[in-house]
Amino acid sequence: MLLFREKIPPDWLPKVLGDLPSVLIDHAHLERKAATPSINLEKYHDLFPRVDELNAIAIEELQHFQLVLRILKKRGIPFAQPQKSPWITGLMRSIRNGVRHQVIDHLICCSLIEGRSCEKFQLLAQALETIDPELSTFYASLVESEGNHYATYYLMAKDLDPIETQTRLSFYLDLEAELIRLPNRLAMLH
């Protein structure tokens, strides 16, 4: 179901493997930030019938956040300031105004962020198998959940307006392909 138009740049994996403590801090913030859009989406009238599902995502993301915090603690890595992700900012910046437009764009952005997380967690789980089995198991355990979030957000948009969703998905996939190619020297998930 993952439809991305660009591969993850080849330098991403060696960069993150080279600085796992920074990646774990970034990951903690990513999970924290993932809990907020699902709650923010509940303000849209169109999504009132989906409030329970959105709450379930928010709760799951907070649980993920807790799990990462626990790993940080166990490894003696102090929780620190988040780094800004030009990739996430670039996607979110393109959300249009206007209630229906905004909700569709917002859902697609969330879907793509979840989709890339799912893809990257899978890569990390494989790459860490021998280097850091504990972390490998942890990343593998998140893949299904992030994949479900990806699909849920996409299907919510499609249920509201299938034609608009296809048009905007195509726009966002092109934008995402551009953004993922931007160089980023920091060890971050996105």
Q: How far apart are CA 12 and CA 189, in angstroms?
A: 8
Q: Does 27 bind Fe ion (CB under 5 A)?
A: no
Nearer to Fe ion, 103 or 112 (CB): 112
Q: Residue 183 gets which letter from DSSP?
A: -
Q: Does 146 bind Fe ion (CB under 5 A)?
A: yes
- Give residues 59-98 in contact with Fe ion (rule: CB under 5 A): 61, 64
Return all residues near 42 (Cβ < 8 A) that are at least 6 apart.
48, 51, 54, 55
Q: Does 106 bind Fe ion (CB under 5 A)?
A: no
**In the complex, minimum distance from the CB of residue 170 to Fe ion, in angstroms, rounded to a whole number:** 23
Q: Residue 64 gets which letter from DSSP?
A: H
Q: Does 29 bind Fe ion (CB under 5 A)?
A: no
What track of x and - describes contact with Fe ion for positions 147 through 166 (by CB under 5 A)? --x-----------------
Nearer to Fe ion, 26 or 114 (CB): 114
Point out which span in 17-25, 95-103, 113-121, 178-186 binds Fe ion (CB under 5 A).
113-121
Q: Does 119 bind Fe ion (CB under 5 A)?
A: no
Question: 10 is written with which tokens?
Answer: 């080849």
Distance between start and end Cα atoms, the chain: 20
Nearer to Fe ion, 64 or 120 (CB): 64
What track of x and - describes contact with Fe ion for positions 35 through 54 (by CB under 5 A)? --------------------
Q: How far apart are CA 26 and CA 190, in angstroms?
A: 9
Q: How far apart are CA 26 and CA 186, in angstroms?
A: 10
Q: Does 105 bind Fe ion (CB under 5 A)?
A: no
Q: How far apart are CA 66 and CA 56, in angstroms?
A: 15
Q: Does 120 bind Fe ion (CB under 5 A)?
A: no
Q: Does 26 bind Fe ion (CB under 5 A)?
A: no
Question: 73 is written with which tokens?
Answer: 């603690």
Q: How far apart are CA 164 and CA 158, in angstroms?
A: 8
Interacting residues with Fe ion (CB under 5 A): 31, 34, 61, 64, 114, 146, 149
